[in-house]
Structure 1
Amino acid sequence: MVRIKLIVAYDGTNYVGWQYQPNGISVQQRLEQALRDLTGIAHTVYSSGRTDSGVHARGMVCHLDTEKTLPETAWREGLNRFLPDDIAVRHAEQVDQQFHARFSARGKRYRYTILRDSVRSPLDRTDSWQVKKPLDVEKMQQAALSFIGRHDFAAFRTSGCSAGTTIREIFSITFSGEDSLLHIDVCGSGFLRNMIRMMVGTLVQIGRGKRPVDAIQSLLADPGSAPSPLTAPAKGLCLMEVWF
């Protein structure tokens, strides 16, 4: 029995998320079907986390245990022959049994992309959130500093979140841009359900003058002290990388 690590990229537009769901097709389902097509054996794939419906990934890490012996390149090329165009295995390698895609992970980087334009973009429609009104990015950057560190993010999760604790640590938040696109990269130890989308939604409200710059400090200190954060659309979010 060997353990194979995969790095998977996907466009989440047509999926109910990474994990199996009763209401539609998941990325995990497509990947496990490709494994059956390639090897003739049913495999279970264990991921570094979940992405919700509509969320994308460039660097989802997962692993599987198998008795099938194939060259590392054959895992990548073979699976890609059976996967749809919106999912691809970018890398495959054999790892030792101590590696676990979820429990060995030390942090993740997500990117949220905002289209700052009054006119929609056909080319960016599936992976960005169009915000038509001007944004004060300087205020957003100032407010984002309050997220950095170890905090109780109870105000930044949806009611369906089943995490045992709402304490999380954010390592960094960086802003970058190209033309009308604004990228917000968030690095942290782990994230609650919809946490980044609610963080971004709050930053956009601040950038539009709908909330004060110190709103994040208030929400972290007392979740009930202000209206619930706005949840940014799923399509603007992408898992960029997981590190171990």
Structure 2
Amino acid sequence: MMRTVLSVEYAGESFEGWQTQPHGRTVQDALELALARIADAPVPTVCAGRTDTGVHATTQIVHFDAPVARPLSAWVRGANSHLPDGVSVRWAQGVSDDFHARFSATARHYRYVLFNGPVRPALLHARVGWFHRPLDANAMAKAALALVGEHDFTAFRAASCQAHSPVRTIRYARVQRHGEYVVFDFCADAFLHHMIRNLVGALVYVGKGAQPVDWLAVLLCGRDRTLAAPTFSASGLYLCGVEYPDQWSLPGQGRIICTPQLALPESCIEPESKFVD
């Protein structure tokens, strides 16, 4: 068997999350079915980060052990010919069998795109979040600084989270306004279940003036999920990059692919933004 790495892009509104389910309506189910058509055999896959229902990805990293020899182009163009419109394999690369899409990763990059206007968007339905009242992006940016570093994120994890530890290290947490859009960028070694959506929900409370700028710092110290804001919509959340050690020489390392142009105004597009420590 040869271990192969794929970069996969998908629109999450068409699927019930990444992880395979008996009903088969997940990204993993669609991908494995397509790969099996190329291999003429089952092809189990492992991803860098399992995304929830409605969450999108511009760069989901996946590995599998190919049961048969196929050219890399078959795992891209061949698989894409069997995938639904909402999923696309962007590239494929062979690696040694000690590579692991999840455990070899050193960081994940997520972006949340929020439309901040009085009327809900129609053309970007399911591709952006929405909040109708004006938000103070500067206040949210200041509040997000408290998240940087190693912390216990119990106040921002889902009740169903199965992670052994709530401690995570956030490399950066940024909030910027681009016209009617507010963009949240997060990078960490890993994230807890619903962690980013819970962080965005808390930041929106600060942005609308319901809580002070230091509220997120207070929540971190309190470690009580019931005191924090509700989980925000999945619609605007994108997995947009996964980092690995240089030894793997994967395409695009040192850069992230941010949200597609459809989901952002032109002034906000950074198709090859450099990773920032």
TM range (shorter): over 0.9
Residue 136 of structure 1 corresponds to 136
Secondary structure class of the residue paired with 2:79: helix
Q: Structure 2 regions of 5+ residues with no counterpart?
A: 245-277
Separation in structure 1 between the aligned mates of residue 80 and residue 178 of structure 2, nearest angstrom: 31
- Does 2:18 match 1:18? yes
Q: CA deviation at 1:124?
A: 1.5
Q: Which moved more, 1:148-157 or 1:126-135?
A: 126-135
Separation in structure 2 between the aligned mates of residue 176 and residue 37 of structure 1, nearest angstrom: 43
Separation in structure 2 between the aligned mates of residue 60 and residue 113 of structure 1, nearest angstrom: 18
Count of aligned residue pairs for this structure pair:
244
Are the counterparts in 1 of residues 156 and 225 from structure 2 also a CA contact under 8 Å? no
Separation in structure 2 between the aligned mates of residue 205 and residue 74 of structure 1, nearest angstrom: 48
Residue 91 of structure 2 corresponds to 91
Separation in structure 1 between the aligned mates of residue 73 and residue 243 of structure 2, nearest angstrom: 22
Q: C-alpha root-mean-square deviation of aligned residues, in Å? A: 1.4
Q: How does 1:170-185 map to 2 (within 5 A)?
A: 170-185=170-185
Q: CA deviation at 1:220?
A: 0.7
Q: CA deviation at 1:180?
A: 1.4
- Does 2:23 match 1:7? no
Separation in structure 1 between the aligned mates of residue 28 and residue 60 of structure 2, nearest angstrom: 11
Separation in structure 1 between the aligned mates of residue 165 and residue 232 of structure 2, nearest angstrom: 23
Separation in structure 2 between the aligned mates of residue 134 and residue 28 of structure 1, nearest angstrom: 38
Q: CA deviation at 1:179?
A: 3.0
Residue type of the alignment partner of 2:198: M
* Cα deviation code 1:151-179 (max 9, x no counterpart): 00000011100100000000001233433
Higher relative contact order (CA 8 A, sep 6+): 1
Secondary structure class of the residue paired with 1:92: strand
Residue type of the alignment partner of 1:101: A
Separation in structure 2 between the aligned mates of residue 11 and residue 97 of structure 1, nearest angstrom: 29
Separation in structure 2 between the aligned mates of residue 64 and residue 80 of structure 1, nearest angstrom: 16
Are the counterparts in 2 of residues 111 and 185 from structure 1 also a CA contact under 8 Å? yes
Residue type of the alignment partner of 2:227: P
Residue 169 of structure 2 corresponds to 169
Cα distance change, pair 92–225 in 1 and its aligned pair in 2 (3 A) = closer
Are the counterparts in 2 of residues 218 and 226 from structure 1 also a CA contact under 8 Å? no
* Cα deviation code 1:193-213 (max 9, x no counterpart): 000000000000000011111
Give TM-score, length-normalised by structure 1: 0.96
Q: Structure 1 regions of 5+ residues with no counterpart?
A: none
Q: CA deviation at 1:225?
A: 9.1
Residue 206 of structure 1 corresponds to 206
Separation in structure 1 between the aligned mates of residue 223 and residue 163 of structure 2, nearest angstrom: 17
Separation in structure 2 between the aligned mates of residue 23 and residue 158 of structure 1, nearest angstrom: 24
Cα distance change, pair 139–177 in 1 and its aligned pair in 2 (3 A) = closer
Q: How does 1:143-158 map to 2 (within 5 A)?
A: 143-158=143-158
Q: Which moved more, 1:202-211 or 1:22-31?
A: 22-31
Are the counterparts in 1 of residues 108 and 242 from structure 2 also a CA contact under 8 Å? yes
Moved over 4 A (4+): none
Cα distance change, pair 22–71 in 1 and its aligned pair in 2 (3 A) = closer
Q: How does 1:62-73 map to 2 (within 5 A)?
A: 62-73=62-73
